[in-house]
């Protein structure tokens, strides 16, 4: 299986918004009843509405990297609209930076994906919890092949910001057994693009991916990058 031959893994975004019982789902502020209208705003005609929708994704749908029941369909929706031309606009994100909306959405997918990967599972196990006890996390794990399908369309994007964000998201998603065979295809891109990124969060993810994939990281530049979630950096993606 190649990167591009996984078909029909994501629903139509508008069917998803209309067909999901959002009132039965929750995010950090309670009921997600208003979430579909805000998510539709990601493809609005004005960048102000798009920016508000992006803020809603980060707070409250994925508040402090938490996976809520509303996070699951939101992730499927975000992946399904990545290829929409309206996602190609430039918006001001929550940190006041002007950047491609598509890159910001890819960073959001990364943030969701790393909260259900094997390292997250090990952290949970270390404090007596199990991923399988959380249906939302299990559901996000099941989405990963579809998310990867959407993300992979931008691995060679001409916009470097979008390409780096797509490669980072792909690295985060390749933890799933169904996608292990894609690692060999992605490794050259990680080495050629992500390892040398100006963004320390992306460099961290490059190393975080290559080492467990069995790739030699000894020849990579000596980095002092730490997990961006531990200390935070307002000028970079906070996954």
What pLDDT was estimated at residue 211?
A: 85
CATH number of 13-231: 1.25.10
What pLDDT was estimated at residue 1?
A: 31
Q: Are 173 and 211 in contact (CB under 8 A)?
A: no
Cα separation, 120 vs 237, whole angstroms: 18
Domain edges within the chain:
13-231
What pLDDT was estimated at residue 218?
A: 65
Nearest Cα neighbor of 70 from 44, 107, 33 is 33
Distance of CA 198 to the CA centre of its chain: 19
> Mean pLDDT in runs of 10 for the chain (239 residues)?
49 94 97 97 96 96 96 97 97 89 98 92 85 90 95 97 98 91 93 93 90 76 52 50
What pLDDT was estimated at residue 56?
A: 96
Q: Say whether pTM exceeds 0.75.
A: yes
């Amino acid at each position: 299986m190649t990167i591009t031959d996984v078909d029909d893994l994501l629903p139509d975004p508008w069917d998803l918004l209309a067909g999901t019982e959002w009132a039965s789902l929750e995010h950090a502020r309670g009921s997600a009843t208003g979430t579909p209208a805000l998510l539709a705003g990601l493809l609005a005609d004005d960048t102000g509405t798009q920016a508000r929708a992006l803020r809603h994704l980060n707070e409250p749908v994925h508040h402090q990297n938490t996976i809520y029941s509303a996070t699951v369909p939101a992730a499927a929706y975000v992946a399904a609209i990545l290829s929409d031309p309206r996602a190609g606009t430039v918006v001001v994100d929550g940190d006041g930076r002007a950047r491609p909306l598509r890159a910001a959405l890819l960073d959001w997918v990364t943030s969701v994906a790393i909260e259900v990967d094997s390292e997250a599972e090990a952290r949970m196990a270390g404090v007596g919890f199990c991923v399988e006890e959380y249906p939302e996390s299990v559901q996000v794990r099941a989405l990963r092949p579809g998310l990867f399908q959407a993300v992979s369309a931008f691995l060679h994007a001409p916009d470097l910001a979008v390409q780096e964000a797509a490669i980072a998201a792909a690295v985060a998603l390749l933890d799933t057994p169904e996608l292990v065979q894609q690692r060999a295809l992605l490794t050259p891109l990680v080495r050629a693009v992500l390892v040398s990124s100006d963004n320390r969060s992306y460099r961290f993810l490059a190393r975080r991916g290559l080492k467990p994939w069995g790739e030699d990281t000894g020849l990579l530049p000596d980095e002092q990058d730490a997990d961006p979630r531990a200390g935070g950096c307002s000028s970079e993606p906070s996954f």
